[in-house]
Structure 1
Amino acid sequence: MSLSDLRVASPAHLVAVVPYLLGFHPRDSLVVVGRREHTLLFAARRDLPPADTPLAEVATFAQHIAAVVARQTIDSVVLFGWTDERSSGAALVAEVADALLELGIPVSDQLRVAGGRFWCYLCTDEGCCPPAGRPFDAEAAEIRRSAGFDVFASREALVASVAPADDEGMRVATVAADRRLEELAARTGPGAGPLFGAIRRAGARAVGVAMARHRDGGTLDDDEAAWLSVLLAHTPVGEYALDRADAAGWQVELWADLLRRARPELAAMPAVLLAFTAWRTGQGALAAVAVDRALEADPSLGIARLLDTVLTDGIPPSELDRAGAA
């Protein structure tokens, strides 16, 4: 789902939309939503600092967040403190608002969300913002019907959704795929060049099969998934797949499925491909989870480290499109 597909007719609608922008229901979080001409273009989340964090550290944290937001092509932002009943998040929200205003970015609203209700941090009119807050359960149900799906209950649940599956069938298939690759190498002529070409050709076929299958709504069987995961560990195949990765929902599903099923030591490149396609489709939280998996599997993988920097610095996918058009 595109951010622009979500209907936002009121502050309550906007609160209800936030979990769909992130992919999960936030907790103890600062959430920033960026808009341009009334269209939602950007959403980011950071953990709230502990309540006893010195104000100077809160200010530094806020300035970093504002700098990330300033890289987006937006007209205004809404800030949310997604809190529990004990903490308000007011200090960080206020610091971020001040830092954004110093950068010339208007803050159109500052809202606190807790326990299924929301408040405006700055509003003192009890007719508008009653002390008990305003519910948004009706709007949440409306957004759920419009989206056609629900989101994860927490970031932990999102992480679990791409955790390694304990699948005996995939273990057996991966052993067979290793043997298949050894046989391919044995049939190839001497020297690195012929083997490089043979692996790339086999990888191109495997990537093509996977993309065609998922584009049509299907999935790979164990043998196909294992073969693809083994081939992606080789640079020419990983590069071939990355060149064809795009902002398509079925590609996110493809690489998420392979990441779950791949043997842990083969997870790096499926995780990179998931991170890239999720970033391209605006699913920043999923992209960050996938980058973590990639770096866990291979801390030295350059493309994973680059994507980690892209996400940390808040570089939008539009920058890639602009670079490609240059």
Structure 2
Amino acid sequence: MTDPSPETTVRSPQDMLGAVPYLLGYHPGGEIVAVYLGADQRILGVAAEPLRFSAEALSEHLMLQAPAEPCAEVALIGYGPPPIRPVLATIGRILELFWPLHTLLWVTGSRCVCLLDSCSCQAHRGMDIDPATSPVAAQMAYAGMVALPSRQALDTLVAPDLVSQAEVEAAVAPLTPDAVVPGLLDDVRATAKRGRRLTAGQLAPLALALTRRDVLEAAWGDVCACMWQRDLWLDVTRRVPDRYASGPATLAAWCAWRRDEHALAIAACQRAVREGPGHRLTRLVTSVVRTHVPAHRLRHPAAH
């Protein structure tokens, strides 16, 4: 579940469909999406579940991901072919026991239909849609939010780059494991901020350095929501050998969380946990991400 900034509000199905890809970080497909709304139509949170479970299990998962702030309504959107309709309708009936349904939308290709009998919105009889043309989508894109083409494209952002990993492995080999280059983090950040990709020669000492608790926590303390930091730590995560990936993946997750890119933060946390020995900072970041608390509501926690 991702929790957007308080300024995100919806006034029409077009607004809803335009906002969802940016709030998730990717364009959903074959998924059920729940949009949790406040009394003022402000989006409190968004959750997505793949269609590989029963309607009852999907309903439970979506209820567990509801934000802590009280919801006034919930909007359900099903993305997929016609067989999704009865599943979506069943989930709607279950969730309506807990919250009023704001809308119940079925999206297939470029067509959207509202399945609520009592609704008179523009989608009630079906309508053609293009989420990219929504003013809300344009506003979010202008604010620097990202909507990747698919969930698979998002997962690729943290997947190993085997060719680059081999190059960095060769550069790591002659280095002393406990060597830390003075000013390394400053040099790395300066290079990334100028829009330049790190070389294998720069990545090798960085990979070693981030296995040290003091260096990793120093890097974490300077992570912000800037796009260049997002690109930096995702790139490092993909290119360093797996045994060094936990540290940069933790930093990538923290940056994604600070940017309210929750799905990406979860994917980066999973990579960090899978590759790492369980560093306490990795556990801390994973715990924060999994609480679904958005960055604007939580003070930056101290490393200790």
| TM-score bucket of the superposed structures, by smaller chain | 0.7 to 0.9
CA distance in 2: counterparts of 1:299 and 1:65, whole angstroms: 31
The letter of the residue matching 2:59 is A
User: CA–CA distance in 2 between the matches of 1:98 and 1:322?
Assistant: 37
What is the match of residue 43 of structure 1? 46
Partners of 2:69 and 2:138 in 1: CA distance: 29
Amino acid across the alignment from 2:149 = A
Contact conserved, 2:166 with 2:241, CA < 8 A, in 1? yes
Q: Relative to 1, partners in 2 of residues 1:122 and 1:172: Cα closer, same or farther, differing over 3 Å?
A: closer
AA aligned opposite 2:68: R
How far is 1:142 from its partner? 4.7
2-structure distance, mates of 1:8, 1:177: 50
Q: Which residue of 2 aligns with 1:68?
A: 65
- When normalised by structure 2's length, the TM-score is 0.80
- What residue ranges of structure 2 are gaps of 5+ in the alignment? none
Shift of the 277–111 alpha-carbon distance from structure 1 to 2, 3 Å rule, reads: same
2:106 aligned partner: 112
- More divergent stretch after superposition (205-214 vs 39-48): 39-48
Root-mean-square deviation over aligned CA pairs = 3.3
Cα distance in 2 between the residues matched to 1:98 and 1:285: 27
Determine helix, strand or coil for the equivalent of 1:287. helix
Aligned residue for 1:179, secondary structure, equals coil
Instruction: Give per-residue Cα distances to partners, 1:12-60, cap 9 Å, x unaligned.
Output: 232132112212121232222345545545322122353xx3x7x43xx
1:190 — aligned with what? none
Equivalent of 1:288, from 266, 272, 287?
266
Listed as ranges, the matches of 1:21-36 within 5 Å are 21-35=23-37
Q: Which runs of 5+ in 1 are unaligned?
A: 186-198
CA contact 1:17–1:140 (8 Å) conserved in 2: no
1:141 alignment counterpart: 133
Quick one: percent identity of the two aligned structures? 27
For these two proteins, the number of residue pairs brought into alignment is: 292
Contact between 1:30 and 1:48, CA under 8 Å: does it hold in 2?
yes
1:229-276 per-position Cα deviation (integer Å, ceiling 9, x unaligned): 221112211111112222222211110111121112111111111111
Q: TM-score, normalised by structure 1?
A: 0.75
C-alpha distance 97-280 of structure 1, shift in aligned 2 (>3 A) = farther
Counterparts of 2:9 and 2:231, CA distance in 1: 24
- After TM superposition, list the pairs within 5 Å mapping 1:158-197 onto structure 2: 158-167=154-163, 171-182=166-177
Query: Cα gap change, 1:172/1:140 in structure 2, threshold over 3 Å: closer, same or farther?
Result: closer
The answer to whether the 8 Å contact 1:62/1:95 transfers is: yes
* C-alpha distance in structure 2 between counterparts of 1:208 and 1:27, whole Å: 40
Q: Which residue of 2 aligns with 1:155?
A: 151
Say which of 175, 200, 218 aligns to 1:240. 218
State the alpha-carbon separation in 1 of the partners of residues 97 and 42 from structure 2: 23
Q: Which residue of 2 aligns with 1:220?
A: 198
1:201-253 Cα shifts (integer Å, max 9, x gaps): x37x2222222222333332221122212211122111111122222222111
The answer to which structure, 1 or 2, has the higher relative contact order (CA under 8 A, 6+ apart) is 2
| C-alpha spacing 1:40/1:295, structure 2 compared with 1 (3 Å) | same
Which of 84, 88, 113 is matched with 1:87 structurally? 84
Q: Which amino acid aligns with 1:123?
A: D
SS of 1:152 mapped into structure 2: coil
Shift of 1:179: 2.6
Q: CA deviation at 1:281?
A: 0.7
Q: Aligned equivalents of 1:312 and 1:96: distance in 2? A: 22
Residues in 2 aligned to 1:127 and 1:277: alpha-carbon distance in whole angstroms: 38
Identify, as 1 or 2, the structure richer in helix: 1
Instruction: Pick the structure with greater CA Rg.
Output: 1
Cα distance change on mapping 1:150 and 1:318 into 2, 3 Å: closer
